[in-house]
Chain A
Amino acid sequence: MKTHPSIELYREMLRIRRVEERIAELYPEQEIRCPVHLCIGQEGVAVGVSANLKPQDYVLSGHRSHGHYLARGGNLKAMMAELWGKVTGCCQGKGGSMHLIDLSVGFLASTPIVASTIPIAVGAALGSVMKNEDRVTVVYFGEAATEEGTFHEAANYAVLKKLPVVFVCENNLYSVYSPLEVRQPPERSLVELARGHGMESHWEDGNDVLAVKRLSEHAIDHARAGKGPSLLEFSTYRWYEHCGPNLDNHIGYRTEEEFLTWKKTCPLLKLRESLLAEGICAEPDLSLIEEDLKAEIDDAVRFAKESPFGEEDLAYQHIYAT
């Protein structure tokens, strides 16, 4: 198998894609009995950003966090078991899809209240500064989170204290079914808004994983050097419904044409074409990756399905730390 940084990026994006597709495929079995917010179409951001992180760095996210967790190296089996509500899950079944954690790779948390993990990420960065640790904290959120007051409160404080945080905004144009134009004024850019808070801020095509990687490398280095926070806005698009395993272009809040236009900019497709065109790898190499991933995902699903549920008493554990 050839090795090349771009092949790795492709493999990571494909892994997220195939995991999400498998979840969608199995969801009708009604064994995954929790909300799932699939990130198919948005894989480029998580993978491009994660490629620049060091082992000690922290990552937090929101409700659509599978990709962020997996790209950071979060344990796949523990995530799948969590979706199945099993005791072997990363939260022993107490969290489900919207509450992922893997402290072994610095994935501190994902929780679904919009924007709520943004100040928590800033606090984690404050904690690492207070403890003199060399850590950068990355927090992912959607563009709707920037409508929340707490985003601005957190941004203000991160700039005030020059904290090593990178705010990563995935702008996928919709907050559930509500389009951007009913939520934010069209003439105002998020990048300008972040600059208004006094931080460095840039926009990039979120479906171009190499561009994401380049830009986020700059922001992460900037934070690590003690130069303060940055906000990166990445345009991208969620292919599936807000919550659940289906496409939903027929229900009326967006059009099939819009979806197809975005689908053409698929982050995997773009990289795959350039990998082949530039001779970095060939079709058989990509087939090998597919086979590997299929085996890994089969194994994770088997693990999730075969794992036991927690004893009922587990519901009454962990209410308080002792």
Chain B
Amino acid sequence: MTRELKYFQAIREALDLSLEQDPSVYLMGLGVPDPKGIFGTTLGLQEKYGPERVMDMPTAENGMTGVALGSAIAGMRPVMVHQRLDFALLAVEQIVNQAAKWHYMFAGKSSVPMVIRLVIGRGWGQGPQHSQSLQSWFAHVPGLKVVMPATPYDAKGLMLSSIRDDNPVIFLEHRWLHNMFGAVPEGDYEVPIGRAHVIREGRDVTIAAVSHMVVEALQASKMLAEVGIEAEVVDVRTLRPLDTETIAASVRKTRRILVADTDWKTGGFSAEIVSWVCENQFDILKTAPRRVALSDCPVPTSQVLANPCYPRPVDIARQVCEMVGQSTADIQVPVESSGIPLDIPDASFAGPF
């Protein structure tokens, strides 16, 4: 049966199911069993499975990533979580030098089944060190898999796939997605790693979006539909391995592509998708690809300074208008989304994150 669940609840269900099914799965992270339960994603799990399998940890990101890795080569399946991606930068050594290369450098004799959950912050003053969206760093490295589910359905299905995968999987959760609703089946199902998903069909332009930008791209598509432009939105879902087939099929149809990313533009993952399309489909493009991404500066804390750094659905819509040679003047911001402060995900949010 399928119900409406919030994204955080979908993740919790996947963790719950994995703990129940497989005794080698365990959860580890600073705050995992605390009263907030990692934005609700681990709430109640320690009570159910005990402190040996659902555990807190010292504030030692690099060392503890090594510990998780070591347990993985000894037969466990750790799911590690960092409440902001920015903290996990302390663990890049273990992730990039060790986990990513372990299976390769030992010629397949040993492997690292391990999920590392990284939460991307935004708004309510997250500031320079709580807002980074560095998926391109991880997607750059052979040996890592990188997923960024945008819907509750994918959050559960990709979490189940990630935990069952025999490789290190970087699982990125945008903080603004945690409280969004979506249809989620009960029980066990997997969303395969490495498969993008056409979340909205359209003929005029392909918008390839990751994570929260999928939400924004869908909102932009509505604005565009009002002026007669039908955008096809491809939810990239997995950055590595990238599903270029699904993106290419969409571009064959629309012959235009815009990439919407939560990261900076320079050296960001949006460049990877645009490059791939240019290298492989240049001849069929009607117009130059475009990118909508975070402004190229650290995100400041003050909302007045931070708000302009983040692209909005209307920015995507205007860019698309230019791509199809239509005036941007007719694009209307829907009434329901006007008036909500720009530094919060929805009207009910009263801070802090």
| A binding-site residues for B, Cβ under 8 Å | 58, 90-92, 94-95, 99, 101, 103, 108-109, 111, 113, 116-128, 130-131, 149-150, 152-154, 156-157, 160, 317-322
B152 within 8 A of A: no
Contact B60 A91 (CB under 8 A): no
Q: State in angstroms the CA–CA spacing of A125 and B107 once bound together.
A: 23
Contact B166 A322 (CB under 8 A): yes
Contact A127 B93 (CB under 8 A): no
Contact B66 A126 (CB under 8 A): no
Contact B103 A150 (CB under 8 A): no
- Given contact pairs A101-B110, A126-B76, A154-B66, a sample of 16 additional A-B residue pairs in the complex whose CB atoms are under 8 Å apart: A90-B106, A94-B105, A99-B105, A120-B66, A123-B68, A126-B67, A127-B74, A127-B75, A150-B93, A153-B64, A160-B58, A320-B103, A320-B145, A320-B166, A321-B103, A321-B113
Contact B70 A125 (CB under 8 A): yes
B351 within 8 A of A: no
Contact B73 A109 (CB under 8 A): yes
Of the candidates A101, A117, A128, A320, the one whose C-beta lies within 8 Å of that of B106 is A101
B26 within 8 A of A: yes
Contacts of B103 in A (CB 8 A): 318-321
Q: State in angstroms the CA–CA spacing of A121 and B105 once bound together.
A: 17
Contacts of B70 in A (CB 8 A): 119-127
Contact B104 A318 (CB under 8 A): yes
Contact B97 A111 (CB under 8 A): yes
Of the candidates B107, B110, B142, the one whose C-beta lies within 8 Å of that of A108 is B110
Contacts of A153 in B (CB 8 A): 58, 60, 62-64, 66
Contact A321 B94 (CB under 8 A): no
Of the candidates A123, A127, A128, A319, the one whose C-beta lies within 8 Å of that of B104 is A319
B250 within 8 A of A: no
Contact B63 A103 (CB under 8 A): no
Contact B105 A127 (CB under 8 A): no
Contacts of A119 in B (CB 8 A): 62-67, 69-70, 94
* Nearest-CB residue, chain A, relative to B107: A92
Q: State in angstroms the CA–CA spacing of A101 and B26 once bound together.
A: 26
Interface set, chain B 117-135, CB cutoff 8 A to A: none
Of the candidates A116, A150, A317, the one whose C-beta lies within 8 Å of that of B108 is A317
Contact A94 B67 (CB under 8 A): no
What are 13 A-B residue pairs whose CB atoms fall within 8 Å in the complex? A95-B107, A108-B74, A123-B68, A127-B74, A130-B26, A130-B71, A131-B76, A149-B60, A149-B62, A152-B63, A153-B58, A156-B58, A320-B103
Contact B93 A128 (CB under 8 A): no
B313 within 8 A of A: no
Contacts of B68 in A (CB 8 A): 123
With A101-B110, A108-B73, A122-B70 as contacts: A157 and B58 at CB distance below 8 Å? yes
| Residues 39-60 of chain B, each 1 if its beta carbon lies under 8 Å from chain A, else 0 | 0000000000000100001101
Contact A150 B62 (CB under 8 A): yes
**Shortest CB distance B52–A (Å):** 7
Interface size range of chain B in the complex: 35 or more
Contact A116 B64 (CB under 8 A): no
Contacts of B52 in A (CB 8 A): 130
Contact A128 B74 (CB under 8 A): yes
With A124-B74, A130-B26, A160-B58 as contacts: A113 and B63 at CB distance below 8 Å? no
B332 within 8 A of A: no
Contact B108 A318 (CB under 8 A): yes
Contacts of B75 in A (CB 8 A): 127, 131
Contact B66 A116 (CB under 8 A): yes
* Nearest-CB residue, chain B, relative to A315: B104
**Shortest CB distance A186–B (Å):** 27
* Nearest-CB residue, chain B, relative to A139: B70
Contact A131 B60 (CB under 8 A): no
Contact B106 A122 (CB under 8 A): no
B109 within 8 A of A: yes
**Shortest CB distance B15–A (Å):** 17
* Nearest-CB residue, chain A, relative to B66: A119
B143 within 8 A of A: yes
**Shortest CB distance B334–A (Å):** 43
**Shortest CB distance B198–A (Å):** 25
* Nearest-CB residue, chain A, relative to B55: A161
Contacts of A109 in B (CB 8 A): 73, 102, 106, 110
Contact B93 A113 (CB under 8 A): yes
* Nearest-CB residue, chain A, relative to B165: A321
B258 within 8 A of A: no
B72 within 8 A of A: yes
B98 within 8 A of A: yes
Contacts of A322 in B (CB 8 A): 166
B167 within 8 A of A: yes
Contacts of B254 in A (CB 8 A): none
B18 within 8 A of A: no
B111 within 8 A of A: yes
Contact A319 B142 (CB under 8 A): yes
With A109-B73, A116-B93, A119-B62 as contacts: A94 and B104 at CB distance below 8 Å? yes
Of the candidates B65, B71, B110, B167, the one whose C-beta lies within 8 Å of that of A127 is B71
| Residues 82-104 of chain B, each 1 if its beta carbon lies under 8 Å from chain A, else 0 | 00000000000110011000111
Q: State in angstroms the CA–CA spacing of A122 and B73 once bound together.
A: 11
Contact B105 A91 (CB under 8 A): yes
Contact A127 B64 (CB under 8 A): no
* Nearest-CB residue, chain A, relative to B240: A320
Contact B97 A116 (CB under 8 A): yes
| Residues 259-289 of chain B, each 1 if its beta carbon lies under 8 Å from chain A, else 0 | 0000000000000000000000000000000
Contacts of A317 in B (CB 8 A): 108
Contacts of A111 in B (CB 8 A): 97-98, 105
Q: State in angstroms the CA–CA spacing of A108 and B74 once bound together.
A: 9
Contact B67 A157 (CB under 8 A): yes
Contacts of B64 in A (CB 8 A): 119, 153, 157
Q: State in angstroms the CA–CA spacing of A131 and B167 once bound together.
A: 20
Contact A127 B76 (CB under 8 A): yes
* Nearest-CB residue, chain A, relative to B114: A123
Q: State in angstroms the CA–CA spacing of A180 and B121 once bound together.
A: 43
With A160-B58, A319-B143 as contacts: A124 and B110 at CB distance below 8 Å? no
Contact A120 B26 (CB under 8 A): no
Contact A95 B106 (CB under 8 A): yes
